[in-house]
Structure 1
């Protein structure tokens, strides 16, 4: 009986995880990147690596970029990638590029507000924390 309960729980967690996903979109015409959704687990590694490379390439040939973070949730694995993106933006800011972050949070996820405020303290470029 215990094995059956564990199998049902794993199946439920797997099903739930597939519903929650991370999306990252770069709109070169508008000069914006939007990250939204649930960012968790090692399966987001490729998405973040591709996004970081896209941001780097875009800023090498463009003067401005605004990055929107609109997470419902992210884990510590994702945190390191978010920090890398913010460091990358800071590097380009120091080179004279106009970069900005807009960090959205929902009232049901106040921890996301706190994380945004913590990141904002690290930045010398425009960083807005707003309720979605």
Structure 2
């Protein structure tokens, strides 16, 4: 585990997980797992095209992957990590609104902001349990 910014080989290894996940799931006969393959491949693409692994942009990124990208970052920001405390929901939303059109689909960020109370409630119901 690297608590700081990744570079060099660590960055390449971390970025490879999108392609590895896709390759593991893509040939499944299950529609759910095929959708999971699409999500695995696209969840680190960015709305402005600066993401990875393929640099897709805007609506060329599958909707499922755009949704999971938002959920992934929102969860990372609002959860405690070994290297940081949880951000308050409002701070996370402000950050995500600033990234709308860059990292995230602006329509989905707007949807998240409009539904913040429901999202917070769901997060509280399914909060991570400490590993024993």
TM-score scaled by structure 1?
0.31
Structure with the larger strand share: 1
Report the structure number with the largest CA radius of gyration. Answer: 1
TM-score scaled by structure 2?
0.31
Structure with the larger helix share: 2
Using CA pairs under 8 Å that are at least 6 residues apart, name the structure with larger relative contact order, 1 or 2.
1
